[in-house]
Chain A
Amino acid sequence: MRLELSSVEFGYQGRPALSQIGLEAGGGELLALVGPNGAGKSSLLRLCAGLLEADRGEAMLDGASIHDMPSAQRARRIAYLPPDGVSAWPMPVRRIVALGRVPHLKPLRRLTAEDETAIDTALDRAGIAGLADRPFDQLSSGERARVLLARALATRADLILLDEPTAALDPRHQLGVMEILRAEAGRGALVIVAAHALELVARYADRAILMQAGRIIADAPPAQSLSQARIAEVFGVVAPGGIAPTPLQLGD
């Protein structure tokens, strides 16, 4: 599985949001998109998800244009988790996670045994098997984030795109989410995550892609792309010695 973008341009009503985006990645990698607000991280993720159409260039998955792919096929291959996800209705957790199977369902059919297994596995991996029957509105924000993450995992997509899944989570839940994503990459998926938690990126990501004003200005292992000079240039903050991986470990 290969994701390729070369000199992709995209703008909202003429206002450029992404320019000269080139990116190549394959299964098994965990990529982090890093950059200030408005740098183009969300636009790039949505472009890779096929939700936006590039003005020039294209996002290709295994040589096929993502935007032109039949939507059912695209939905099976690509899972996308938007930022600030919620469920409009207080459905039970298991029902929400089951929505990740929608792309696999045949018209008018129920969930198959394979779907049920995928849902159980996703609940397990996200560590929320015990919440399966709880209504969504009775969960804490950390639990909600895990439920929505489990929904994205349940699809069993090759390409998993997540927009700030660790925002508003406490340190333990942040670590938990990154561990889950690391494990998904370990199973062969390409995981691309937009994040502001730089120490987490430094610890978990294979590559940190630094973005500024719609451009990729560094694409390298975190130790290089999150150097003191780069961080000062992009974020306007001083990180003595560059960003160090978070020393935090998951306790028992």
Chain B
Amino acid sequence: MRPLHLNLLLAGGLFVSLAASLFLGDARLNLSSLAGALGGSDDLPALLMRELRLPRALLGLVVGAGLGGSGAVLQGFFRNPLADPGVVGVSASAGLGAVMAMYFGAAALGVLAVPFAAVAAAGLGVASLLLLAGPRASATTLILAGVAIGSIATALTALLMNLAPNPWALAEIAYWLMGSLQDASWTELRFAAPIILAGLALLALTPRALDALSLGEESARSLGIDMARLRLVVIGGTALAVGGGVAVAGAIGFVGLVVPHLLRPLVGHRPGALILPSVLGGATLIELADLATRLLSGPGMPLYLGVLTALIGAPFFLWLVRSLPGRAI
């Protein structure tokens, strides 16, 4: 399939899933409520659409796009199909950053404090991954380094929860960590979207370098690729794209793993050509997964998006590890 056709197909799929998450649910909303919402009408369906469904759907879209795109870039950069922001500890690092900001009351400094902390911590996570595993890391080294970074971040997060002043703060952190879009509002969207889009814009600079990198670092350098610059772009882009999402939606795992892996054969395994399809695919997957959590959640018993993606993603991860002879475990 030509990349253009694939991207058009995926964009179509994304549009349909976006429509589904706008119009399906307990409250039956339709096109006229969307028109009302956009037109500034104040009746109930228009309000539901404008204040609940629309921001939630759009937030899912950008969060998923960031996760899918950074998964594709990380896999291309590490030349390893197991690299995913969740698996290699970047999401956990971002989570730690956000929790620290919440715990120490930095959130009071301004609405951007939490996402900023998440982005900075995600960047630190990717940078330490590079330092520990190196760009030529084998699958085993990469996963071990990722597990180490993820564990440290999770342990420190747990420590903060341990020291939480009251059960409500504890519950807030715990639920937030599960990953969810249920609190989505225009506020979240307004600060997450620019961060994630900036990250994706950085990641969009990498396709040619990632293609050249398939032949190894030395070959890539001999083809004129500036590895130091590529490293910075990957670290910065991933930190923004993942950190921005984690800051508002918590850690949603496995999207960055599953989506690029499923789409890779369709682009002839070219790491550069995989980025845009993974952005579209990641957005679609989050849109559908969030719709499922919304439809499956009973009254007073919300199902968390991160839980659902992990339930689907973890078995997939196991299967992937098993099906890569000599590359992992």
Contact = CB atoms under 8 A, between A and B. Distances in A.
Contacts of B288: none
B219 A85 contact: yes
A151 B215 contact: yes
A1 interface: no
Contact of B269 (A51, A74, A82, A135): A135
**Chain A interface mostly:** mixed
Given A49-B222, A71-B226, A85 B270 contact: no
A140 B91 CA distance: 40
B311 to A, nearest CB: 29
Contacts of B270: 89, 91, 95
Q: Which of B211, B219, B225, B268 has the most CB of A within 10 A?
A: B219
Contacts of B269: 89-91, 135
Contacts of A81: 219
B275 to A, nearest CB: 14
Interface stretch (A96-104, A194-202, A217-225): A96-104
Nearest to B81: A89
A87 B219 CA distance: 10
**Chain B interface mostly:** loop
B318 to A, nearest CB: 22
Nearest to A99: B212
Interface string A147-176: 010010001000000000000000000000
Contact of B215 (A46, A85, A92): A85
Q: Which of B212, B214, B215 has the most CB of A within 10 A?
A: B215
A80 B224 contact: no
Interface string B199-225: 000000000100111111011011111
Q: Which of A72, A86, A88, A99 has the most CB of B within 10 A?
A: A88
Nearest to B204: A108
Contacts of B214: 87-89, 91, 96, 99
Contacts of A105: 208
A75 B226 CA distance: 11
Contacts of A151: 215
A209 interface: no
A155 B224 CA distance: 12
B223 A102 contact: yes
Contacts of B86: none
Given A80-B219, A151-B215, A102 B268 contact: no
B244 interface: no
A122 interface: no
Contact of B79 (A50, A88, A155): A88
Interface in A21-55: 46, 49-51
Interface string A58-94: 0000000000000110111011111001111111100
A147 B312 CA distance: 39
B271 interface: yes
A105 B226 CA distance: 15
A156 B235 CA distance: 33
A146 to B, nearest CB: 14
B221 A51 contact: yes
Contacts of B212: 99, 102
B218 A75 contact: no
A99 B223 contact: yes
A96 B215 contact: yes
A155 B219 CA distance: 12
Contacts of B213: 88
A213 to B, nearest CB: 23
Contacts of B80: 88
Contact of A95 (B216, B264, B268): B268
A243 B136 CA distance: 39
A75 B268 contact: no
Contacts of A99: 211-212, 214-215, 219, 223
A48 to B, nearest CB: 11
23 contacts: A46-B218, A51-B221, A71-B224, A72-B224, A75-B222, A78-B222, A85-B215, A85-B216, A87-B214, A88-B213, A88-B215, A89-B79, A89-B214, A89-B269, A91-B214, A91-B270, A95-B268, A96-B214, A96-B215, A99-B219, A103-B223, A103-B224, A151-B215
Interface of B: 79-80, 208, 211-216, 218-219, 221-226, 264, 268-271
Please name the 6 residue pairs, one residue from A and one from B, whose CB atoms are nearest each other, closest first: A75-B224, A88-B79, A80-B222, A89-B269, A82-B218, A71-B224
Interface of A: 46, 49-51, 71-72, 74-76, 78-82, 85-92, 95-96, 99-100, 102-103, 105, 135, 148, 151, 155
